[in-house]
């Protein structure tokens, strides 16, 4: 029997207990699963989420892996007491939710839906939008979420360019990388989707300079990390008329303070960090699959590279 400590916070336990127990049973794994820990030295696996029950991992001397319930690991990867292998969450349910949010808001901006939904003056404007094939989209970040969103956007007909820090190749997708590739990827883009991790290299990747490369009237969609955008530069680009709109789901401070200028700006839509959520049913299977792999001596899935920060 193995010991699994659910250290992701008491509030999450009721949602995760049944799916985790079911996934363990289906995998044929006998485990003592609990949100309580009386002896850290006897714990084999830790299920974790930022804001959970652990800040010091030193006592967990037998722990074979820390299994994060979030896709992002920036709040834990710098913890020097965490010497155990750390796995981030790649959840099919989370991916599906992100694809739906990105596709929905991309089509909203592409079709200019707001001009009809928010039309108090009853203006009759029969102007048709261009076809998707005439609207260049750039996705910054080609990890699991970025690639899934790029694939969905291409399926609708958008010409999609993907950018990543390291070189990548995906059939049917224009892939660019590095600093020169970033300017090339953003130049002329009419919709930009940010799905990069937060690292020192990606902070403020959209700034006064890089925002100037996108097409006039472009829409910015950020369901990735709030730190990816220079807030002051974004507001300036909107006020100058260079950007058409920004739909933001993530922010440097959450909840977004009531007096933040984003709330009142007519060119910004705020969504309250709902683009993607880890789903207990699907996430539990991912967690248990990694436990089964570790018990069988197989490589862990979604292992975090501490040097790169994700």
Tens of pLDDT along the chain (310 residues) come to 999 999 999 999 999 999 999 999 999 999 999 999 999 999 999 999 988 999 999 999 999 999 999 988 988 999 999 999 999 999 999 999 999 999 999 999 999 999 999 999 999 999 999 999 999 999 999 999 999 999 999 999 999 999 999 999 999 899 999 999 999 999 999 999 999 999 999 999 999 999 999 999 999 999 999 999 999 999 999 999 999 999 999 999 999 999 999 999 999 999 999 999 899 999 999 999 999 999 999 999 999 998 888 8
**Is residue 62 included in any domain, yes or no?**
yes
Residues 57 and 128 in one domain: no
**Is residue 177 included in any domain, yes or no?**
yes
Q: What is the pLDDT of residue 309?
A: 82
**Is residue 241 included in any domain, yes or no?**
yes
Residues 165 and 36 in one domain: no
Residues 221 and 140 in one domain: yes
CATH code: domain of residue 260: 3.40.50.720
**Is residue 289 included in any domain, yes or no?**
yes
Residues 200 and 130 in one domain: yes
Residue-number span of the structural domain to which 139 is assigned: 92-270
Residues 145 and 21 in one domain: no
Residues 69 and 114 in one domain: no
Q: What is the pLDDT of residue 298?
A: 98
Q: Assign residue 106 a region (left: φ > 0; alpha: ψ between -120 and 50; beta: otherwise).
A: alpha
**Is residue 304 included in any domain, yes or no?**
no
Domain count for the chain: 2
Q: What is the pLDDT of residue 75?
A: 86
Catalytic residues: 225, 273
Q: What is the pLDDT of residue 286?
A: 97
**Is residue 305 included in any domain, yes or no?**
no
Residues 237 and 287 in one domain: no
Residues 168 and 202 in one domain: yes
Cα separations (Å) of 11 from 20, 24, 48? 15, 21, 13
Tell me the whole-structure pTM to 2 decimals: 0.89
Task: Please give the full DSSP string across the chain, using - where no structure is assigned.
Answer: -EEEEEES-TTTHHHHHHHHHHHHHHTT--EEEES--S-GGG-SEEEE-TTSS-S--TT-TT--EEEESSS--TTTTT-TT--S-EE----HHHHHHHHHHHHHHHHHHHTTTHHHHS-TT-----PPPPPGGGS-EEEE--SHHHHHHHHHHHHHT--EEEEESS---BTTBEEEEHHHHHHHHHTT-SEEEE-----TTTTT-B-HHHHTTSPTTEEEEE-S-GGGB-HHHHHHHHHTTSEEEEEES--SSSSPPTT-HHHH-TTEEE--S-S----HHHHHHHHHHHHHHHHHTPPPTTB--TTTT-
Cα separations (Å) of 124 from 112, 115, 120, 172? 14, 10, 11, 39
Are 171 and 198 within 8 A, CB to CB? no
Residues 6 or more apart whose Cβ sits within 8 Å of residue 28: none
Residues 188 and 115 in one domain: yes
Q: What is the pLDDT of residue 126?
A: 94
**Is residue 301 included in any domain, yes or no?**
no
Q: What is the pLDDT of residue 50?
A: 87
Residues 84 and 186 in one domain: no
Residues 22 and 105 in one domain: no
Residues 120 and 204 in one domain: yes
């Amino acid at each position: 029997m193995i010991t699994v400590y659910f250290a992701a916070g008491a509030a999450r336990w009721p949602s995760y207990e049944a799916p985790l127990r079911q996934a363990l049973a289906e995998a044929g794994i006998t485990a003592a699963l609990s949100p309580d820990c009386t002896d850290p030295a006897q714990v084999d696996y830790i299920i974790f989420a930022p804001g959970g029950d652990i800040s010091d991992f030193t006592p967990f001397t037998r722990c074979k892996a820390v299994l994060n319930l979030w896709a992002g690991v920036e709040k834990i990867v710098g913890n020097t007491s965490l010497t155990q292998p750390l796995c981030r969450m790649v959840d099919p349910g989370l991916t599906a939710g992100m694809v739906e949010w990105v596709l929905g808001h991309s089509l909203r901006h592409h079709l200019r839906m707001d001009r009809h939904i928010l039309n108090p003056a009853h203006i009759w404007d029969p102007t048709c939008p261009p076809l998707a094939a005439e609207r260049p989209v750039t996705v910054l970040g080609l990890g699991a979420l970025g690639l899934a969103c790029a694939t969905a956007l291409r399926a609708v007909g958008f010409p999609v360019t993907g950018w990543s820090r390291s070189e990548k190749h995906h059939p049917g997708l224009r892939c660019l990388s590095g600093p020169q590739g970033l300017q090339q990827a953003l130049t002329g883009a009419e919709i930009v989707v940010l799905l990069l991790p937060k690292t020192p290299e990606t902070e403020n990747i959209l700034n006064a300079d890089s925002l100037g490369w996108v097409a006039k009237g472009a829409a910015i969609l950020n369901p990735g990390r709030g730190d990816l955008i220079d807030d002051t530069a974004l507001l300036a680009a909107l006020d100058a008329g260079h950007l058409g709109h920004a739909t933001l789901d993530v922010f440097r401070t959450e909840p977004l303070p009531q007096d933040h200028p984003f709330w009142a700006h007519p060119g910004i839509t705020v969504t309250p960090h709902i683009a993607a959520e880890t789903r207990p049913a699907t996430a539990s299977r991912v967690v248990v699959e990694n436990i089964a792999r570790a018990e069988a001596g197989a490589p862990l899935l979604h292992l975090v590279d501490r040097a790169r920060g994700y």
